[in-house]
Structure 1
């Protein structure tokens, strides 16, 4: 592998590992050391590990995708370092204007450059608003995860609602939580398994919970990622995109 042939690919992998606030250029590749790469990988792997969000399938799916991307970036950078040192590749230590990236803005630590530039086609599948904004390049990955966590925190806990409705008491809730933490089960699933709630009660609690959280798009407006007008336009684009996807998919054939 030559330095020039894969330089952009290595820089992209370094961006995945080191985040948006590190100034990346040929000079960076010249002084990059295995210990620094390993430390960055461990931190990013910890941040993106799906186990951080037990029971949250939507967030876990996104985390898994980025966890694998981090692992791939780590392997690529390690291979680059091994070949760089073995071949004695030299990198210029002078920073010229055409070699370096401009440092990213620091107004918000997680406002990284979105992974999708928005200029290419969006993959042909139906989206919810958060994943569509990410696919369209309107927000970055960290912003999407922040928004999903924020939305989750708006929801009233299932156990608390069941207590207010007189379906469970405090002692029973603690018992469910204890067994749930041991077996990584969702609260409602564990309550049904223990015979403390019926499936219908759990569905009612979950419907109530979903009806109380705020819309995901509000987060991006509140935090200044998008204006209300930009969000409205992107929502309309998403509806049009999803309609085309469903139209092209056609009616599903029932299994005989």
Structure 2
């Protein structure tokens, strides 16, 4: 299946799961998390479950079809997220042919002097902000997100080092087939970890998460000083969005 067709199918599934009010594009697919998909599925499953209408066969039939569509969409999205998190998703670039990245000083001058279009009035994370401002190409954003995920410590390995699980228990969790797809959820389902232990492991994992911006410095796309300045601009933009004020930042 081609990337274009796959993206189209995943976006259709997201529309089924998240509704018509959510803005869907490749950037949404980049930042969508399992927890968000799971929460949306629970909400939609509750809304469409046929058992809500006992004694009304025609309504139940329609609800059953909607419920099946929601379940299929959720399964499709979960499969996509697992593929993406393994670094096996290669999205099409948003433009024809990505231009070579200019040196940091040239890139910074270009974005500062040629800006014309305002940023969207929404909260940005650093990677998407740098892409929207034109400081990094789309492929570098994808590569940075994959790099960041690969750098964080695995929950199972951390639990083993802390003495909460042994090697056999870790393999048991990894090989367990259940509705739960994440390591922590499966470990709780098997009774090998408590919810509190999983939350502690996730907090530790996030604390060891490398900063995404550092990737662009290491690759020579930005200098340390440029990144620091852009982080300040990002904070200012997000603060303005929270306060309901228009952003002063622009894209080129």
Equivalent in the alignment of 1:136:
133
The residue aligned with 2:190 is: 194
Q: Secondary structure at the match of 1:219?
A: helix
Aligned with residue 170 of structure 1, among 154, 167, 171:
167
Rounded to whole Å, the distance in 2 between the matches of 1:106 and 1:234 is 17
What is the Cα deviation at residue 213 of structure 1? 2.1
Partner Cα distance (1:53, 1:118) in 2: 34
Alpha-carbon separation, structure 2, partners of 1:187 and 1:150: 20
CA change 1:45–1:137 in 2 (3 A) is farther
What is the aligned counterpart of 1:123 among 120, 125, 135? 120
1:218 aligns with 214
- CA RMSD, 1 decimal: 4.0
Higher relative contact order (CA 8 A, sep 6+): 2
Between the aligned partners of 1:102 and 1:213, the Cα distance in structure 2 is: 31
> CA shift at 1:136, angstroms?
1.6
Corresponding residue for residue 234 of structure 2: 238
Mapped to 2, the partners of 1:106 and 1:126 lie a distance apart of 25
Say how many residue pairs are matched.
Answer: 167
User: Which stretches of structure 1, 4 residues or more, deviate above 2 A after TM superposition?
Assistant: 41-53, 101-107
- Is the contact made by 1:55 and 1:185 (CA closer than 8 Å) also made in structure 2? no
Residue 147 (1) aligns with residue 144 (2)? yes
CA contact (8 A) 2:101 2:221 kept: no
Q: Would you say 1:157 and 2:140 are equivalent positions?
A: no
Q: Does 1:205 align with 2:198?
A: no
Given the superposition, is the C-alpha separation of residues 56 and 105 from structure 1 closer, same or farther in structure 2, using an over 3 Å criterion? closer
Counterpart residue number, 2:62: none
Normalised TM-score (structure 2)? 0.55
1:146-200: per-residue Cα shift (whole Å, max 9, x none)?
11111111111100000011111111111111125x6570101111111111111
Render the CA deviation track for 1:198-245: whole Å, top value 9, x for unaligned: 111001001111111211100000001111122111111101101100
Pair 1:47–1:228, CA change in 2 (3 A): farther
Contact persistence 1:55–1:186 (CA under 8 A): no
- Contact kept, 8 Å, 2:101 with 2:137, in 1: the verdict is no
